[in-house]
Amino acid sequence: MPTNFTVVPVEDGQPSSPDSDVQSPEGEDEEKPGLYSGEETPGEDSPFITTGDHEGSCDGKNMALFEEEMDSTPMVSALLNKLANYTNLTQGVIDHEKAESEDGVKKVTIRGPQMGTFIGVYLPCMQNILGVILFLRLTWIVGTAGILGSFAIVFMCCVCTLLTAISMSAIATNGVVPAGGSYYMISRALGPEFGGAVGLCLYLGTTFAGSMYILGTIEILLMYIVPDGALFVDKANEPVAQQNNMRVYGTCCLALMALMVFVGVKYVNKLALVFLSCVILSIMAIYAGVIRSAISPPDFQICLLGNRTLKNHDFEKCLKTEVINNSTVTTQLWEQFCNGSSIDADCDPYFALNNVTETKAIPGLLSGVISENLWGTYVPYDTVLEKNLSVAEVPESEKEKLKNVKDMPYVFNDITTYFTLMVGIFFPSVTGILAGSNRSGDLRDAQRSIPIGTILAIVTTSIIYLSCVVVFGACVEGVVLRDKFGFSVKRTPVIGILAWPSPWVLVIGSFFSCCGAGLQSLTSAPRLLQAIAHDGLVPFLQVFGHSKSNGEPTWALLLTAGICEIGILIASLDVVAPILSMFFLMCYLFVNLACAVQTLLRTPNWRPRFKFYHWTLSFLGMSLCLSLMFVSSWWYALFGMLFAGCVYKYIEYRGAEKEWGDGIRGLSLNAAQYALIKLEEAPPHTKNWRPQLLVLLSLDSDLMVKHPRLLSLTSQLKAGKGLTIVCSVLQGIYMNRGADAKRSEKNIKAAMAAEKTKGFCHAVVCSNLRDGFSNLIQSAGLGGMKHNTVLMAWPCNWRQAEDSSSWKNFIETVRETTSAHQALLVAKNIDSFPCNTERLTEGTIDVWWIVHDGGLLMLLPFLLRQHKVWKKCKMRIFTVAHLDDNSIQMKKDLYMFIYQLRLDAEVEVVEMHASDISAFTYEKTLVMEQRSQLLRQMQLSKTEREREIQSITDESRSSIKRKDRPKDPTPNTLQVPGAAPLENEAHMFHGKNTKSHTGSPSSDHVHMTWTKEKFISERNRHREASQGVRDIFNMKPEWENLNQSNVRRMHTAVKLNEVVVNKSQGAHLVLLNMPGPPKNKGGDENYMEFLEVLMEGLDRVLLVRGGGREVITIYS
């Protein structure tokens, strides 16, 4: 029921003046965001038909409350005005208007003709459906397949088009269909990839339809109108000569038609009524002839020799001999079977043994011939058409005298016939159902006219075809029906001898009908190609989107003529017809698919006015289209599907940027929702576990990716499989930095594309980075598609950073992943990792398996080696044996374990026995603790800092002055190598240190200098010297006062680093177990130092921390 609107005028308290409070901003001519820019079809990206400018939509103060929204949202009155004035012009008219405006001529508003259902849809569909196949091939199909077989063929094809029309009606009435018709409907319903593929299929089908109509025109011309106009005549090889004539005349006809289309479509449209009248008159003549045959059958005789059909255009009388003036003389027929005209001449044995008989070509509707034509008669190529009669057979002794049948005036079958061939040849006769939707821009009410007109046209033509099948079989002799070109009835079309009042009515009518259909094809195909080119789906077709000043797509017309010429060079209507059947069936298949998908998805925008549809009907139509494709020609069907698939993948590869709200996207969303729900039902099994990565990126000041090699490592680990979420955190408030977040996502997407990383990206804005990373770790992903592994870069230069938040955020992230039971991968020196274009030469990926935390250490090298960057690298697995371990048995067990894991790796067990803690370890621990103390001092006030330094100094001095030390170490005494010689040095250093603290006027400034080169030189000098180790900072307390837990951890890091550097310094990548952070947050900085020592001297390191579950298994 239509909605009633009541418009109530609202008067302002003050009259509006030209100087209104609401002024349009400067640069009002500039394109506003969200408005139609001219690059897209109006109405595709906007919720309504068009949203132009909104100037003047808010005068006065009536709507001052909404004045800030006026730039983006129109007033209802302005919107209704746009809807009322909406006109839908074809692209050619729009280009014509643009050309006129560019020349300075005043643009004239062009309103398209407003046509109703009968003129705009019904008659064009009738004209396109009824055509060449009806006039030239339907009688042959009935004679070959029989009435029952032909009825089945026609019924299947008509049901297919009827179901397609129902689906098309639902799509066409689901909103306004701009100019573009069927292509527009299909592409907007199925998306750019399917739209481009189906659009090209529809274009090629329309183009080859033009070839078929032109071949039909030339066949009528040379066979029936001007039989003596053949340029090539070769009775020995007549089919080849006939094909050459078709090629020459067809090319000339194509040139004339293309010239007519180029000159102007208006002339073609003026002739359309003439062509339609010819079709209607021809059909009326057929039915008039059927009625007359029931009353008085026409006197058309065919000549039979035995049971063989003869061509009767070379002789007048169907007699061997005749009596003239009481003397027997031979006829023209005698001379064609005998060596001479005399009675005693040697004749063909079959001619001599069988009589010549005449029979009626059209026995009549009531003759009972229908019973003979019920069943099909399929014959091989180049066989004589025979009637089912008993004849005299030639004896074996006489067969050597038989002449070559090719030299005889028999009617031969020019093609091997079978049922599926009949389907492929007939189907083009039911195409043309899209003619009404192609005129959607010219209709008064397209949503009402298209369904009614199209379905009525299909029903009407289906009745015509089915009735013609029955009446042809009931009126015409079977051998005459199988005579494709009418050779047995003096080169008259078989359907013509049935027509009344004269065969010439049907000959002339069918000739002009084919001419009109060919012109229509050459008119619509270039415009269809132009619409595809305007969408920009296939880049190399964009040149065909241009048109001349008169609106004609000249380049598209030239390409159409070139493709049409290919069909003409085939020179056989029977071969061209199955080709265009494939393309039209592909198009109809996708129309049904579009309707079925939209119906099943129940998208909110799917509200067709046509209610007589159902998804089961669409699926039935789709199945029928697919079946007819393979029934008619399975190799053509495979070629058509391959062609459509290639176009689909090409558009997908080029990256279709169009978003049309298509049903395939909705289908993908539904499938994704279903899959996510299924995935969430149970956690993945160990066999299916793969790293689903959450990549935490850092951005520089320009919001560009700081470490793009982290994305390279991601793509090398994933190879496009599984889930990858790339995230970054911006510090601030979202309302202030929303634009920066969008720009960051754009930059991240560009970096992902450059590094060939497939996945999703997201940039969030948070008040601090710590909370942002925590939120991402907790909430990234959806349902079952959540990450299980976090990948991040090692915070380089964390010691020199003024702000300690970088390394503190890193440690908190480690704690977060541990609490969330997620794996963690930390890449050190990430910028030195290989990019995707590099190919590492033979080297190794070394795995140091210290503790077992799920087997992720073994899985990662296997995944990396699947990528071409790491493919040539070998995998080595090292494990550490302690004093109580049997290293030989450990190696055997490890080798067996790796073998059962199906991994190709070398195995080595490294023995690392317990040893005394070295001076270097104490030195590293000392430096670490001093640095921690100094950093804490930097955070104190001046007075507190001086007091803290004095207490440290006093404690050190008192410990140095101790005299009561045991000379012999006891088992409980901590033995420090070289401690005795260092006592005096330590005393001296601390004395200097005390003076510096007490005497320096600027004691509130603490200076630290610790470079890598100085540290290495100091370490080497201390190792070589026999005396103890000097303090780098000149502030060293006694070693026995160090935290023994830190000393043990540092000892482990130093010893393990020595072993790893010794074995794996030349490896391309080293994977290490990452120790967990301390539970006490006071030791966070020491934890960073331990990790630095552990990775020192190694180029590429990947620290791995498992998520607490097994990720690799030995079972199948």
pLDDT tens-digit readout, 1035-1060: 344 444 555 666 777 777 888 888 89
| C-alpha–C-alpha distance, residues 879 and 891, integer Å | 9
CA distances to 7, 9, 106, 343, 598 from 85, in Å: 18, 21, 20, 87, 30
Could you give the dihedral angle defined by the CA atoms of residues 926, 927, 928 and 932, in that order, rounded to the nearest 10 degrees?
100
Max mean pLDDT range (40-44, 171-175, 419-423): 419-423
- 505 has pLDDT over 90: yes
Q: Which residues pair with 322 in a beta bridge?
A: 329
- 161 has pLDDT over 60: yes
* Across 230-234, 441-445, 979-983, least confident range: 979-983
* Strand, helix or coil for residue 313: coil
Buried residues in 383-408 as b, exposed as e (16+ CB within 10 A): ebbbbeeebeebeeeeeeeebeeeeb
Tell me the Cα Rg of the chain. 45
pLDDT tens-digit readout, 666-718: 677 777 777 778 777 667 777 667 788 999 999 998 999 999 999 999 999 87
- Residue reference for tokens 């055997």: 892
Pairing between β-strand 1101-1105 and β-strand 1069-1073 as defined by DSSP bridges: parallel
**Residue 915 Cα to chain centre, angstroms:** 64
| C-alpha–C-alpha distance, residues 101 and 98, integer Å | 5
pLDDT tens-digit readout, 57-115: 444 455 555 555 556 566 665 655 554 443 333 434 344 444 444 444 444 444 445 67
| C-alpha–C-alpha distance, residues 982 and 987, integer Å | 8
| C-alpha–C-alpha distance, residues 284 and 281, integer Å | 5
More confident residue, 106 or 283: 283
More confident residue, 498 or 436: 498
Nearest to 185 by CA among 605, 203, 176, 544: 176
| C-alpha–C-alpha distance, residues 571 and 569, integer Å | 5
Q: Which residues pair with 699 in a beta bridge?
A: 705
More confident residue, 115 or 573: 573
pTM, 2 dp: 0.69
Name the pLDDT band for 1017 (thresholds 50, 70, 90). low
Structure tokens at 143: 């004679």
| C-alpha–C-alpha distance, residues 811 and 826, integer Å | 11
CB atoms inside a 10 Å sphere around CB 1084: 19
For residues 568-587, give the mean pLDDT: 92
Please provide the average confidence, as pLDDT, over all residues in the chain: 78
Structure tokens at 265: 């479509």
Nearest to 1072 by CA among 1082, 1083, 1061: 1061
Q: Which residues pair with 338 in a beta bridge?
A: 347
Pairing between β-strand 823-828 and β-strand 1069-1073 as defined by DSSP bridges: unpaired
Q: Where are the alpha helices (DSSP H) in 780-875?
A: 805-819, 856-864
Q: Which residues pair with 303 in a beta bridge?
A: 358
pLDDT for position 1066: 87
* Across 2-16, 396-410, 861-875, least confident range: 2-16
- Residue reference for tokens 């990716």: 705
Long-range contacts formed by 314-317: CB under 8 A, 24+ apart: 314/409, 315/409
pLDDT for position 910: 86
- 11 has pLDDT over 60: no
Q: Quick one: three-class SS letters along 698-734? A: CECCCCCECCCHHHHHHHHHHCCCCCEEEEEEEECCH
* Across 153-167, 313-327, 956-970, least confident range: 956-970
Return phi, psi of residue 944, to 5°: -65, -35
Return phi, psi of residue 909, to 5°: -110, 125
| C-alpha–C-alpha distance, residues 590 and 93, integer Å | 29
Long-range contacts formed by 93-100: CB under 8 A, 24+ apart: 93/551, 95/547, 95/549, 95/551, 96/549, 96/550, 96/551, 99/548, 99/549, 100/549
* Across 138-152, 625-639, 729-743, 774-788, least confident range: 774-788
Residue 194: its H or E element: helix 192-220
Buried residues in 62-82 as b, exposed as e (16+ CB within 10 A): eeeeeeeebbeebbeebbeee
pLDDT for position 56: 44
- 134 has pLDDT over 80: yes
* Across 253-267, 334-348, 463-477, 995-1009, least confident range: 995-1009
Amino acid (one-letter) located at 422: M
pLDDT tens-digit readout, 841-891: 888 999 988 887 778 888 889 889 988 999 989 999 998 887 677 888 888
**Residue 945 Cα to chain centre, angstroms:** 67
The 8-class DSSP code of residue 796 comes to T
| C-alpha–C-alpha distance, residues 424 and 437, integer Å | 25
Helices (H) and strands (E) in the chain, counts: 35, 15
- 33 has pLDDT over 70: no
